[in-house]
A and B are shown apart, each in its own frame.
Chain A
């Protein structure tokens, strides 16, 4: 990332900012559905907290994408008026909440990735993105402490809780491949100094996750061949429902202000 910045088409920059924004929004949206239904009151509060931070970060990112694009779109246009194939979120975050174990596993895998990403992205050649990452990093550290401490308690709790989170881990692990799969567009961003190189993020993520799994007495699943690529608009069946629900009002009342 300290490489000499070089001209990058603004589409590539927007696309990357939307990847981050969309993942934050979709995960925040999913967590929002749990508020009031968590296993304990403290967890309602904790989940609401993470949801608020993630959606807050998404708002900053959408505003930045709108500025770069310069066509007068707003954060809400990005969130509510794009179709599934235009969404750039990781397939991981659109996976269902499931039981609390699955919610926590999804969160840990995501938080650990976001933590390692933001650590590096705060030095991006893109000053705005660097600032958003630096601010987000403080929140993400907190999210990871929350999800990580739950993973340990569930993994090393009862036989039932161990079995549940291990099963969730097996189910969600295949979606982690996408986090680090580098294509030409990713390499271009890294060369321009906008983003960290993915292999470095992957190593740090992998070490962090392995250490946590060991503490939680959970077995790390093997990598599997199929790769979803939500970041390129290839989504699982779940995203369509999430968007249908989320976008319902702005789609039903076009042009209305709320």
Chain B
């Protein structure tokens, strides 16, 4: 999921972890512990429902806002094949948004409410999409790193205790892994290309590396709410575990490209069998989250503009549907 870094539930939503013996809360937890899937009509604690609504809708919003930075290059993709792949990718992200909104709707909220929360600035989306895509290489870097980090986050979600979310993730993950490969392939072509292309690729890696690591969310020491999500089996691995997996997976790929990640402290730790990396600038993370990233305003403005300019179209569709309904279907009502 794109929203891991944001999963701070409002405190009043948190329920006491220990449920009354023999009550619905205990039966619920036993089912979760037994790896049974929770379905929309099943009883669930309010905190579980609210956590999922928040997480799934943030994830959906992230897919939708995520269409923008790459969509920025559709008209300028450098070959017809790349243009087609990019349109299909941005379309896939829209599709992910659509199934995630549907999954959230099974919890008793409407897509309209959720979209309003996004447009009003009340709901969050992944901060990664508040970074700009000034060059074609940024499209490659997003596919490789951002979709790559999304996969790390989302594969465990395919086993999430909430059935509709888990099933949506299975489909989403399959497509994200295509995106990751396609992004890497763009980087590969650039790194095997002219000096200018290699420079473009390196500069994009420099821009996206740290924000990609931040996608996994605050360090475990500072992530207050993970424990409950783990108990509910919404979350299976901690932020730091997933971040480490991502680094270990990605560094050899950067090496193969002949590109260097912008971290002077990065080194292989043979004893621990993993890479060690330098400290993350959490001040930047917090600033972008609070709305002061390079493109927060542009992204939200673009969504608001599309929504406002589409209002007459949506109204027309509703008016037409109302007219063409058979007269008996309660036009007077």
User: In whole angstroms, how far apart are the Cα atoms of A36 and B320 in the complex?
Assistant: 25
Given A35-B91, A41-B94, residue A249 in contact with residue B84 (CB < 8 A): no
Q: Who on chain B is nearest to A42 by CB?
A: B98
Indicate if A117 sits at the interface (CB-CB under 8 A).
Answer: no
Interface set, chain B 294-333, CB cutoff 8 A to A:
302, 305-306, 309-317, 319-321, 323
> DSSP majority for the B interface?
helix
Q: B232 → chain A, closest Cβ, in Å?
A: 29
Does B193 reach chain A (CB closer than 8 Å)? Answer: yes
Interface centre among A58, A249, A255 (most CB of B within 10 A): A249
Residues A32 and B74 in contact, CB atoms below 8 Å apart: yes
Residues in B whose Cβ lies below 8 Å from that of A44 = 67, 91, 94
Residues of B within 8 A of A59 (CB): 80-81, 84
Q: Which residues of A have CB within 8 Å of B189?
A: 257-258
Among residues of A, the one whose C-beta sits closest to the C-beta of B186 is: A258
Interface check B196, CB cutoff 8 A: yes
> Measured between alpha carbons, how far is A134 from B194 in the docked complex, in Å?
41
A98→B201 CA distance, assembly (Å): 35
A248 touches B76 (CB 8 A): yes
By size class, the interface of chain B is 35 or more
CB distance from B323 to the nearest CB of A (A): 7
Closest to A258 in B: B78
DSSP class of A's interface residues: helix, strand, loop or mixed? helix
Write the nearest CB–CB distance from B10 to chain A, whole angstroms.
27
- Whether A153 is near chain B, meaning CB under 8 Å from some CB there, is yes
Count of chain A residues with a beta carbon within 8 Å of a chain B beta carbon: 50
Q: Are B319 and A37 in contact (CB under 8 A)?
A: no
Give the distance in Å from the alpha carbon of A25 to the alpha carbon of B79 in the complex: 12
Bound together, the chains give a CA A157 to CA B95 distance in angstroms of 27
Encoded as 1 (CB less than 8 Å from any B CB) or 0, chain A from 46 to 62 comes to: 00110110011011001
Contacts of B97 in A (CB 8 A): 41
For the complex, is B90 an interface residue (Cβ under 8 Å from A)? yes
Residues in A neighbouring B76, C-beta threshold 8 A: 245-246, 248-249
Contact between A258 and B79, CB atoms less than 8 A apart: yes
Using a CB-CB cutoff of 8 Å, which residues 59-86 of chain B contact chain A?
A: 64, 67-68, 71, 74-84
List of 9 A-B pairs having minimum Cβ-Cβ separation, nearest first: A39-B310, A157-B316, A161-B316, A48-B91, A36-B71, A249-B78, A39-B313, A36-B67, A258-B78
A-B contact pairs, 19 of them (CB 8 A): A32-B75, A33-B75, A36-B68, A36-B90, A37-B306, A39-B310, A39-B311, A39-B314, A44-B94, A45-B94, A52-B88, A55-B87, A59-B84, A79-B80, A153-B316, A154-B313, A249-B136, A250-B79, A258-B193
**Given known contacts A35-B74, A249-B78, what 14 new A-B pairs fall within 8 Å (CB)?**
A32-B75, A38-B306, A41-B64, A44-B94, A45-B95, A48-B88, A48-B94, A56-B84, A80-B79, A153-B321, A156-B323, A158-B315, A256-B194, A258-B186
